[in-house]
Amino acid sequence: MIRLSIPLRQTLSRLSLPVLVAAAFGTMLLGKADALLAERARTVLADVLTPFYAAFAQPARAVRDAVAELPGLLALREENARLREENERLRRWQAAALALEAENVQLRGQLAFIPERAPAFQTARVVADGGGVYARAVLVALPPGVEVSRGQIALDERGFVGRVAEVGNRSARILLATDINSRVPVTLEGSRSRAMMVGTNGGRPRLQFWTEDTRPAEGERLVTSAQGIAFPAGLPVGVVRRTPTGGAEVELFARLDRLDLVRLFDFGLGALLPPEAVARPEPRGRR
């Protein structure tokens, strides 16, 4: 039997390839002869093999997704470590802020401090740029019943924008901080030195008239100064940017090129100024 089985296996192995080729050609001829039958056969075969495909595809998909998410997981790990460090730093700042707030309340109680009245404000929408005698100004629409007076301070969500220069029944014109007619007293937060921010009709106002022993530092924050009673103290203005020639300009916090809504604050200072002190128009082309 063993001697007979060996030649039989050899014969079958030699015949397997021709048999498979013949079966393939037969299947092709059958498909050409009867397309409907071939389609049904393919459908039945697909139905039979689909569960196996799904069973094998699930692990392969899981492995592929895991490999694709690996860079993201590594980035998330680094981001998580950074956020933990930042959260810890913010907790320390929060503890320091709470301690300073408690100390501030205690000192105010000892000094019989009277807090200032919160200023009233109105929100207005910018409807036009430029126009009038000013090169850098915007026109805002006022809803019926809203009262606005000259000299009120305009702020956006980031900082100082300008002052109300003209008022009508349904509109008001705001003189921007970059206009050549704008003069804003400011304070350097780092040195507490005072200076004057002067508009240039350009993108950044100039910083002038600071004290000789104090040089504005690059990146130093500026806030409004109460000197001259025209502005309240402490409104955020911008940061110092040094020029190649050694001068100082102000990069404003407010985005004057994309103003949409502004808040007009009434600090009660406009009534203390004569009308001509709010703005003195100069020719539009002058720089």
Task: Report the pLDDT value the prediction gives residue 275, as an integer from 0 to 100.
Answer: 44
Task: Report the pLDDT value the prediction gives residue 240, as an integer from 0 to 100.
Answer: 96
**Contacts for 203 with CB less than 8 Å, ≥ 6 apart:** 178
Task: Report the pLDDT value the prediction gives residue 106, as an integer from 0 to 100.
Answer: 80
Task: Report the pLDDT value the prediction gives residue 20, as an integer from 0 to 100.
Answer: 75
157: helix, strand or coil: coil
Query: Are the C-beta atoms of residues 163 and 152 closer than 8 Å to each other?
Result: yes
How far, in Å, CA of 156 to CA of 71, rounded? 40
Strands (E), 83-142: 120-129, 137-141
How far, in Å, CA of 250 to CA of 242, rounded? 9
pLDDT per residue of the chain (287 residues) written in tens, 0 to 9 = 445 556 666 666 666 777 777 777 776 766 666 566 667 766 776 777 677 666 766 777 777 777 777 787 788 888 888 898 888 888 888 888 888 888 888 888 878 777 777 788 899 999 988 666 788 999 999 888 888 999 999 999 999 999 999 998 889 999 999 999 999 999 999 888 999 999 999 999 999 998 888 889 999 999 999 887 788 889 999 999 999 998 999 999 999 988 999 999 988 765 444 444 455 555 454 43
